[in-house]
A = this chain, B = another copy of it.
Amino acid sequence: MALSWFAVLAITTPLGVVAYRNGLALTPQMGWNTWNYFGCNVSESTILSAAQAIVDNGLDKYGYEYVIVDDCWHDSTRDPDTGAPRPDPTRFPNGIKAVADEVHSLGLKFGIYSDAGEYTCGGRYGSLGYEEIDAKTYASWDVDYLKYDNCFNDGQSGIPLVSFNRYANMSRALNATGRPILYSMCNWGQDGPWDWAPTIANSWRISGDIFDTFDRADDRCPCTSAIGCLLSGWHCSVMNVINKMSSLGQKAGPGIGWNDADMLEVGNGGMTKSQYIVHFSFWAILKSPLILGNDVTQMTNETLEIITNDAIIAINQDASGSPASRIWVVNVTGGELQLWAGSLSTGATVIGLLNSSPTDQTIDLKMADVFIDSSAQVKTAKYRLYDLWQRSSSNDTVWGKDIGVVSGEVPGVSLAPQSCLI
């Protein structure tokens, strides 16, 4: 549900900060990345087919603009003469620049991947100690985006300063190229990047790798909080990542940068539609980058419907850049109920009501909770409610279905299993 018409008084003064001065990602970046679906099976055709599909499906109109090749694009060695990175000549017979040109010609932007270590996670050569030559080479290929991973980093982590220095080296190198390159840090939340990444990057991962599951606990992703997590791991579920976000929204904002909840799994088949809606909705209200991770050349209508919900995307791309905060959590059998709320630049408030349990749940939604930081006047005012996912009804608006005007509370809100209302 989204609240409108009755504007919430802005409590915080908009900040003038441009912490990382490349001027990019004033709202969370959107795009597509090869990893979640293709893993190491990347090539010129993988990328160009995806770029074409993005345009053909009109995804670019919704804001998905970066086409990013993740790990394994590399030749087996660097150029022996210059030390520069080189693409795999079989997979990229025309080089990377040719791919970037083609992507640009479709009106999209092109991103690449490397690692702040000796090797990438997939075992290719990393950029540690090669920041300058690598940044220059990417710029010469007209790259617009760098995802920068964390494997095999020679112990250069453990306290913020050590991690900062390692990632700042690439930041400086990118800036020195003169080309604006969005810098997407992927250090899995180690050493609390939300505290130190804003001066060097546009976004920073806050968790180990996502897996296409809704709420499965997995020993391979042992932390339940992002704070102080010492083994980020992988196979993290959507609910694991949402819960890790619960204290971090305060650290993000326009010109500061974004908490990255990892790339989307929507369309990869491991979750139900309702679970994917939770996934996409919360990534949006948390102001995470929205980077598709499915095969965009083969999408079901269901997948398309989810990733093109323009109300949800509008919230993610709202100029206020203010991530929703979690108001409360209640444990129920097999899961949790959670209430989140966030403010928009229009004065509207976005509400996320989440049921992660496998059974129906009913709750009374109190405006005093939604506007918990606000005055009594705000808490008791009248609001018009919209349901952002019920979009086919006759009274459909830009915000979805108009639920009517409410005041005080919305009694008996029904939540299907593993679903959310936004």
Using a CB–CB cutoff of 8 Å, the interface residues on chain A facing chain B are 12-13, 15-19, 39-41, 72, 76, 117-119, 122-124, 152-165, 168, 191-192, 195-196, 198-200, 211, 216, 219-220, 222, 225, 227-228, 230-231, 233-235, 246-250, 255, 269, 325-326, 372-373, 375
Please state if A16 and B76 are interface contacts (CB–CB under 8 Å): yes
For this chain, the copies found in one complex come to 4
Please state if A195 and B40 are interface contacts (CB–CB under 8 Å): no
Of all chain B residues, the one with the shortest Cβ separation from A158 is B159
**Cα–Cα distance between A387 and B48 once the two chains are bound (Å):** 49
Known contacts: A161-B156, A196-B154. The answer to whether A15 contacts B122 by CB under 8 A is: yes
| Residues of B contacting A233 in the complex (Cβ-Cβ under 8 angstroms) | 247, 250
| Residues of B contacting A191 in the complex (Cβ-Cβ under 8 angstroms) | 155, 158
| Residues of B contacting A72 in the complex (Cβ-Cβ under 8 angstroms) | 13
**Cα–Cα distance between A155 and B163 once the two chains are bound (Å):** 8
Of all chain B residues, the one with the shortest Cβ separation from A269 is B375
| Residues of B contacting A158 in the complex (Cβ-Cβ under 8 angstroms) | 159-161, 191
**Complex partner residue of A161 from B124, B155, B235, B373, CB under 8 angstroms:** B155
**Cα–Cα distance between A41 and B156 once the two chains are bound (Å):** 39
24 A-B pairs with CB atoms under 8 Å apart are: A12-B39, A13-B39, A13-B41, A16-B123, A19-B118, A19-B119, A19-B123, A19-B152, A117-B199, A123-B255, A152-B199, A153-B195, A155-B159, A155-B163, A155-B168, A155-B191, A157-B161, A158-B160, A219-B326, A220-B247, A220-B250, A222-B227, A233-B247, A233-B250
Known contacts: A15-B122, A222-B247, A255-B123. The answer to whether A160 contacts B164 by CB under 8 A is: no
| Residues of B contacting A18 in the complex (Cβ-Cβ under 8 angstroms) | 123
User: How far, in Å, is A332 (CB) from chain B's closest CB?
Assistant: 18
**Cα–Cα distance between A195 and B233 once the two chains are bound (Å):** 10
**Cα–Cα distance between A249 and B233 once the two chains are bound (Å):** 10
Of all chain B residues, the one with the shortest Cβ separation from A197 is B155
| Residues of B contacting A192 in the complex (Cβ-Cβ under 8 angstroms) | 230-231
| Residues of B contacting A122 in the complex (Cβ-Cβ under 8 angstroms) | 13, 15-17
**Cα–Cα distance between A325 and B219 once the two chains are bound (Å):** 8
Contacts A13-B40, A160-B162 known; list 9 others, CB within 8 Å: A17-B122, A123-B255, A154-B164, A157-B195, A158-B159, A158-B191, A222-B246, A231-B248, A234-B250
